[in-house]
Amino acid sequence: MKVHFILNGKRHSAKTPPGETLLEHLRKSGFYSVKHGCDEGSCGACTVLIDGRAQNACLILVQTLAGKTVETLEHFNLKQGVTPLQEAFLKTGAIQCGYCTPAMLLALEAVKRTHPKPDIETIREALSGVLCRCTGYVKPVAAAMHENVTEGEEQTGD
Ligand code: FES
Ligand code: FES
């Protein structure tokens, strides 16, 4: 069957077999920022934004996406290169193997759309759905807080 939705800002026509998950479809289509982990909604590695909300792509069937908007990390990098939040992750050492990083970045992006300067509890809550086996959460939380503080300053060169 064919399903039409918006993928990373462009109209996308997905030719999808019954039962295909969004995770399978995105990786098949070359969106490798979306990672394959548990395949059962537990690890969060496959996080994408659907209509602006962070969701696990392994639990979403492509056939349910008609008319929706899907975003992966590629959307942000194609639009603006390395994002300020990614810079903050690099500066604070919040990335080790990087397997969970796209999911963390998208979980934080979803939060920022409703809370432009999220507090630490909101950040922790946003990251709680993404399992990290390397870095843990102290540095990613610090990166999100750092971006909160420096966003305006860096634009003015301070
Ligand atoms: S692969 Fe989707 S939550 Fe683990
Ligand atoms: S940085 Fe390796 S799983 Fe998070």
Query: At 55, which CATH number?
Result: 3.10.20.30
Residue whose token pair is 């696990």 = 56
CA of 129 to the centre of ligand 2 (A): 13
Total domains, the chain: 2
Distance from the alpha carbon of residue 145 to the mean position of ligand 1, in angstroms: 26
Pocket of ligand 2 (CB under 6 A): 95-101, 132-135
Helix (H, G, I), strand (E, B) or coil at 152: helix
Which atom of ligand 2 is the closest one to the Cα of 100? 4
Q: What is the CATH number of the domain that holds 104?
A: 1.10.150.120
Residue 156 lies in a domain: no
137 to 49, 78, 85, 120, 132: CA distances (angstroms): 21, 27, 15, 12, 7
- 76, 111, 132: which is the final residue of a domain? 76
Q: How far apart are CA 135 and CA 148, in angstroms?
A: 20
Domain of residue 49, residue span? 2-76
Q: Is 46 in the pocket of ligand 1 (CB under 6 A)?
A: yes
Is residue 155, in this structure, part of any structural domain at all? no
pTM of the model: 0.91
What's the confidence (pLDDT) of residue 139?
A: 95
pLDDT of residue 152: 47
The pLDDT of residue 154: 45
CB 109 within 8 A of CB 85: yes
Strands of the chain, DSSP E: 2-7, 10-15, 47-50, 53-56, 69-71
In a domain, 45, yes or no: yes
Closest listed ligand to the CA of 42 = 1
Among 56, 76, 96, the domain-final residue is 76
Q: What is the pLDDT of residue 158?
A: 36
Largest CA distance in the chain: 53
**Domain annotation covers residue 129:** yes
What are the residue ranges in the chain where pLDDT is below 50? 152-158
What is the Cα–Cα distance from 135 to 14, expressed in whole angstroms? 36
Nearest CA to ligand 1 atom 3: 41
